Structure 1
Amino acid sequence: MRRELTLVVGALLGALTAGLLAGAPSTAAPAAFTHPGVLVGTAQLDLTRSKVNSGAQPWKSAFDTMMASTYASLSRTPKPRAIVECGSYSDPNHGCTDEREDALAAYTFSLAWYITRDSKYADKAIQIMDAWSGTIKDHTNGNAPLQTGWAGSTWPRAAEIIRYTYNGWPKGRIDRFAGMLRTVYLPKVINGSHSNGNWELSMMEAAVGISVFIEDKASYDKAIATFRARVPAYIYLKSDGGLPKTAPGSGLNTRDKIIKYWQGQSTFVDGLTQETCRDFTHTGYGLSAISHIAETGRLQGQDLYPEVADRLRHALGFQATYELGTAPPSWLCGGSVKRGLGPVTEVGYNALHNRMHYAMANTQKLTERQRPAGSNNLFVGWETLTHAENPS
């Protein structure tokens, strides 16, 4: 009996230790989900609406920029496909761009509806979402997980706003849209990826947003656990030691493998990311997804920012320094970096500087220089409008 008890206790301790190493709490999902609650919430949207309607800057210019974009054109015709096929670097591109841009358009129209209260924008968002939910069956080819992550990050933002602030979306169509997210998108992203870090982070952003919309606590918990394990493996801090941390199951078990995965970079400093020496564009995808997940978690009553704050603020500041034009030293990426971070700093900067009061001089300079932030045409859109100086 004593031996059996010892084995049971040992197994329980082992499971607990494994969970702690993975950074996963026993439960992360709220007792009840908050809606709308994917990237933007009611208080945030209300502040944005009041700023735009009073003509305050930078919100009014950000709104005008959004409304002048192709994503806000009421003549847009959605282009759904049953099978979206996306190869590496979108070659082949069979519906990849169409899907991402239609999702961004639906989100754009949902924001336009909330700010103007003009039903034509809500109806247009519904038209786009209905077109895709009635058509798509699968994503295929090498970039299928990433494509699913990008589009799957944007759809729930639009759907949350329309479902919970507008009465014109029939329940049957809402259920069909939820079914699309549950059966076509979630299975492709929920198990993550051991590719470059921006893949898994984007996939987890989609999984978290989808889980909120369909109110799936188990998938929410799983996605947050993966996120918590991946962030330390994506952004280096000197407290990590001589080498960056690795994601569970990555197989990166030697110094040579880790350095190769970090694009050949062998000198590690605060804020360096796994893709800094690849290019800043892909780095921006990863940092954006981290900010978005933390923001959604905050809206759901789980503040993840204190947990990721040091990594995220150092990463934003490090990349911003060189994005602003500082020449890289010889030890960094062989003395040459590929700039192009994109409009991805507003969410993290607002949370870390305006809410948590970290000094972030370079990130602030870059953020203000890029205002009003537009879209990266993948899964980022209009974040000066929704997050600039927004304490809500």
Structure 2
Amino acid sequence: MRWKSLLLATTLLTSLSTTTATAAPATFAHPGVLVGKSQLDFVRDKVNTNQQPWRAAYDQMLAHPFASLTRTPKPRAVVECGSYSNPNYGCTDEREDALAAYTLSLAWYITRDDRYATKAIEIMDAWSATIRDHTNSNAPLQTAWAGSTWPRAAEIIKHVRGNWPNSGRFATMLRDVYLPEVINGRTSSNGNWELSMTEASLGISVFLEDRASYDKAVSIFRNRIAAYVYLTTDGDLPRTVPGSGLDTREEIISYWQGQSTFVNGLTQETCRDFTHTGYGLAAASHVAETARLQGQDLWGEVRERLRHAYGLHAKYQLGVEPVPSWLCGGTYKQALGPTTEVAFNALANRLGIAMTNTQRLTERQRPAGTDKLFIAWETLTHASNPN
């Protein structure tokens, strides 16, 4: 029994270690949420010179309803979302209006057709004039998904296009309606929730130039990503986040969907399904990318976890190897979705890490579209983008 006591003690010590180092830049870079100006200039040049895969990705985006110039926003004062958006009172409308605003902002940047910017502003103004709260059990996740997307659009419009009279009201909306719902994280849920919440918190903090919230988001992210993706260097058991209440081996295994064998790249939700795993990995990639634009190297901190995570899941999704019997009972559910471009570009293209299976999956899925939740057009924005 002594080894179990030592193992539990190690796990508890690991769960209590937190990172609180200041992270926020002295001066925020704008636009600087997921995409920066040099990235957007690269994309614009590739599209306008008909180079692939960017042109095909752009054509896909422009043909999507999110790019429609006749879109009518559907804001609500209260968005109520239960589990799996049941009930769905404004949940889909909010997420898709946010994605439409981002889509239209990208379309404006590439074409400089002001009709796209005008429509993006119309959507953002409609919501900032109306929404006051998110309610029901999925409120934190709903707020996180929409709150991750709004700042991407707002950064492009405010800091590149300009001439947005109600940008201050939009900032107030993010500060008063969205940030309080996501800034403290959520230790008790599956990890994709807190990763999306930190993505929203970070993006909102950049738009608001809120250094304290930025630092808090990064601190929560560091703890959560270390507890979401397992590395053998973590020890015999995965790490846990402070306040999770996971105090025993049995509790940790249960939280990891009953998986008791741990290998590099396994995530807390792998044996739940690959789709929710993809949400978590995408949100983590977005956090690292936004931090990079703000001059902070989170990619260096998470590179091993994310390269192994994407590699493991890509291998089985591609069928390179059969799923072994010890992993999720020998089968996996669903698929990662359009979630690989940002991490693959950062890790393989910028850092030179070999990611053979992730590359195959990424190229097979191109052009990556949108999941209609918080991920959109990442082949366009991040494929082989050196900036």
TM over 0.5: yes
Which SS does the other structure have where 1:139 is aligned?
strand
Q: Does 1:294 align with 2:318?
A: no
Matches within 5 A, 1:109-120: 109-120=104-115
Quote how far apart the aligned CAs of 1:323 are.
Answer: 1.3
Q: CA RMSD in A?
A: 1.2
Aligned equivalent of 2:346? 351
Task: Give the TM-score of the pair, scaled to structure 2.
Answer: 0.95
Letter of the 1:189 partner, please give it.
Answer: V
The DSSP-based 3-state class of the residue aligned with 1:104 is helix
Aligned to 1:24: 20
CA distance in structure 1 between the partners assigned to 2:346 and 2:20 by the alignment: 23
Gaps of 5+ in 2: 1-12
Number of residue pairs the alignment of both structures matches = 373
Provide the residue aligned with 1:305 in structure 2. 299
Alignment of structure 1 residues 82-161 onto 2, 5 Å: 82-161=77-156
Distance 1:55 1:343 in 2: 23
SS in 1 for 2:333: coil
Partners in 2 of 1:240 and 1:23 — Cα distance? Answer: 16
Contact 1:106 1:128 survives alignment (8 Å): yes
User: SS of the counterpart of 2:243?
Assistant: coil
Contact 2:16–2:241 (Cα < 8 Å) also in 1: no
Partner of 1:380: 375
Distance 1:367 1:266 in 2: 29
Tell me, in whole angstroms, the C-alpha distance in 2 between the residues paired with 1:49 and 1:323.
32
> What are the Cα deviations for residues 32-80 of structure 1, in whole angstroms up to 9, with x where unaligned?
1000000000000000000000000000000000000110111110000
Residue 333 of structure 2 aligns to which amino acid in structure 1? Answer: K
CA contact (8 A) 1:24 1:229 kept: no
Counterparts of 1:251-262 in structure 2, within 5 Å, are: 251-262=245-256
Question: Residue deviations 1:285-328, cap 9 Å, x none?
Answer: 00000100000000000011010000000000011111113421
Match of 1:203, SS state, is helix
Secondary structure of the 2:80 match is strand
Q: Could you tell me which residue of structure 1 aligns to residue 362 of structure 2?
A: 367
Structure 1 unaligned spans of 5+: 1-16
The Cα of 1:19 is off from its aligned counterpart by 12
Q: For residue 7 of structure 1, what is the aligned residue in structure 2?
A: none
Q: Is the counterpart of residue 322 in structure 1 residue 316 in structure 2?
A: yes
Partner of 2:191: 197
Q: TM-score, normalised by structure 1?
A: 0.94
Distance 1:212 1:288 in 2: 19
- For the residue of structure 1 that corresponds to 2:44, the secondary structure is helix
Cα distance 1:330–1:136, how it changes in 2: closer, same or farther (>3 A)?
Answer: same
Which residue type is aligned with residue 293 of structure 1? Answer: V
Counterpart in the other structure of 2:69: 74
Counterpart CA distance in 1 for 2:368 and 2:86 is 28
The answer for the alignment partner of 1:285 in structure 2 is 279
Q: CA deviation at 1:23?
A: 2.1
CA contact (8 A) 1:24 1:228 kept: no
What amino acid sits opposite 1:292 in the alignment? H
In the alignment, is the contact (CA less than 8 A) between 2:75 and 2:93 conserved in 1?
A: yes
Question: How far is 1:355 from its partner?
Answer: 0.4
Per-residue CA distance 1:344-366 (angstroms, 9 max, x = gap): 00000000000000000000000
